Amino acid sequence: MEKPCCYILSGLGADERVFEEIDFGDFSPVFIPWEKVDPAQSFESYIKQLSKQVHSSSPILTGISFGGIVAQEMSALFNNCPVLIISSVQTRAQLSPFMRFSGKIGLHKLIPMKLALKNKSINHWLFGTKTEHEKRILDQILADSDPVFTQWAIHQITHWKRTEKVPAKLLHIHGDADRIFKIANVNPDYIIKGGTHFMTVSKHEEVSKVIQKALERLVNS
């Protein structure tokens, strides 16, 4: 019997490497790679562009971090299909006050993104990477990240307008040690103790079990 598909959206400029050690159990992951973006392109236009990679009328969308935001918005194009978000937020109100403020003043536009992506010490702290293995994977991902896409995506996060939880079938997995989207600001369905923003790598066995449980719940609800 063929496994049901689960379409995966990674974080800012990242790819399937953040899910490399995740076991999806009875579900077959289909990764949606980020595509080049025009800096002036609207969020809605880009989501429609990405949605062409989904070859199902009723998919299950899974997104981590920025990918979780995209998955929620993309769901509307597929009859509010089920969504699982990881290390992400459900509404604008769940962004930190600093993120919302930085969006208002355009702080991200003043940051030299190439240098920010290369700042290993800050990025290791933000993502909570501790072992050499975790740091090496993060360093590789950030080295491969497109500064143009990263800056555009940060703009979309800090200007996200969503004020209410959608779709109806939405489940949220979050780590209580996440420094980017702090646990105090979100209301997840599943909490990973000691989970950082990089927990799909650092706690892949525990996160795998929770992902499988959440996907089963979404399918059967």
User: What are 12-60's pLDDT values in tens digits?
Assistant: 867 889 999 999 999 999 999 999 999 999 999 999 999 999 998 889 9
Instruction: Look at the block and give the residue holding tokens 């992400």.
Output: 88
Q: How many CB atoms lie within 10 A of CB 146?
A: 16
**Percent of the chain residues past pLDDT 90, beyond the cut:** 82
Report the pLDDT value the prediction gives residue 108, as an integer from 0 to 100.
Answer: 74
Tell me the C-alpha distance between 152 and 172, whole Å: 24
Handedness of CA 98, 35, 49, 89 (dihedral sign): negative
Report the pLDDT value the prediction gives residue 67, as an integer from 0 to 100.
Answer: 97
Q: pLDDT tens, 111-148?
A: 788 888 889 999 999 999 999 999 999 999 999 999 99
Q: pLDDT tens, 57-92?
A: 889 999 999 999 999 999 999 999 999 999 999 999
- The number of domains in the chain is 1
Domain range for 186 is 5-220
Report the pLDDT value the prediction gives residue 2, as an integer from 0 to 100.
Answer: 57
Computed over its alpha carbons, how large is the radius of gyration of the chain?
16
Q: In this predicted model, which residue has the larger pLDDT, 110 or 89?
A: 89
**Percent of the chain residues past pLDDT 70, beyond the cut:** 98
Residue among 55, 58, 87, 57 at smallest CA distance from 211: 87
CATH of the domain at 154: 3.40.50.1820
